[in-house]
Amino acid sequence: MPKHLQQQGSSIGMTGQDLSIIIVDDLQFSRIVVKTALKKAGYKGVRMADSATQALAMMDEEPADVILADWMMPEMDGLQLTDRIRQRDEEKGAYTAIILFTANEGVEYLVEAFEHGVDDYLRKPPNPQELAARVNAAARIAAMQNDLLETSRQMGDTIRRLEEVAMIDTVTGAGNHNMLDIELEAHLAQASTRNGGVCVAMIRLNELDDVAEDYNLKTVDEILISLHRRLRRSVRPTDTIARIKDNTFVIVMHHTNVDDYRPSAMERILSGINQRAFVTRAGELQLTASIGVHYYRGDENAISKDEMLRLASEKLKQAEAMPENNIAF
């Protein structure tokens, strides 16, 4: 991350002493001329590289705010260096201002430079006052871009935290692990005190990993959304459906009477999943499901939600090992 993002406060108010600048030119005389002009203008953090490769190595050691590079250099020219820096910026979530020195004339060169992501350019040899002004302007561009990137990162972190505490799985619209924990704990407490019953059914599609390998994540998401809709149609409105892993759904059913539970309800759910192919933009895909079931009777010793889920998970593994009728009770 660039130096100005490591400091407290806004980066837009950087001084010349705060800036990290790298001058890249294969001609020593040109490097010294530019460095001398920048030092006279008050810029302290100036490094020099005799090649694009050395400049990239310097950036690995300490990121730069502004790169001043000659367009024409052996091995890797200024445009190629710009491409490499822009790729690095994308990977690191940062922005580096780039100014190229050129003796080229004509609008076509200017257009080419901007298309490669160059921020500005200067004719050789540069006027010292113009050089200082252009560096200052480029630094402001980099600072604003990095402030925007940092704001975006913070917003992304905030959104992820909100999703973690929210109750809904953002892909399918089912509940998430948080909802499952709350609902299951409440149902178990109610069943324990009122001699009711709680059924936990853990469901997984058997062939979804193969679909992910053969197609793409969008196809997988389409199938998971369809699966949630099929589950919703197969259970009561009061039953809870949650997605706890990429390919694992959990249904929680509460019964006011311990003897109201019927295994046939699981067969109906499995039939609702398996009866027809899943329609996706990649075509119709036939998948089957496995279900692991654990039923808690309120007249038994109390059980924790984690233990309930563990027992259902063990049954799911047994169901997945079955050749057919993939339900384990």
Enumerate domains of the chain plus CATH numbers. 3-163 (3.40.50.2300), 177-328 (3.30.70.270)
pLDDT (0 to 100) of residue 320: 94
pLDDT tens, position by position, 83-112: 999 999 988 889 999 999 987 777 787 888
- Please identify which residue in the block is written with the tokens 């006011």: 256
Q: Give the start-end residues of each E strand in 93-236.
A: 97-102, 120-123, 197-205
SS3 12: coil
pLDDT (0 to 100) of residue 203: 97
Contact (CB, 8 A) for 53 and 96: no
Rounded to an integer, the average pLDDT of 115-121 is 89
Q: Where residue 17 falls among pLDDT bands split at 50, 70, 90?
A: low
Contact (CB, 8 A) for 97 and 141: yes
CA distance 74 to 70: 10
pLDDT tens, position by position, 57-68: 999 999 999 999
Count of CB atoms within 10 A of residue 70's CB?
22
Q: Is the pLDDT reported for residue 247 higher than 70?
A: yes
Rounded to an integer, the average pLDDT of 147-165 is 78
- Please identify which residue in the block is written with the tokens 């400049």: 55
Q: Point out the least confidently predicted range of 6-20, 36-50, 194-208, 237-251.
A: 6-20
Residues in CB range of 166: below 8 A, 6 or more apart: 176, 178
pLDDT tens, position by position, 187-201: 999 999 988 999 999
CA distance 319 to 286: 19
pLDDT (0 to 100) of residue 170: 87
Contact (CB, 8 A) for 5 and 148: no
pLDDT (0 to 100) of residue 165: 66
pLDDT (0 to 100) of residue 124: 84
Q: Is the pLDDT reported for residue 2 higher than 60?
A: no
CA distance 63 to 2: 5
Contact (CB, 8 A) for 69 and 100: yes
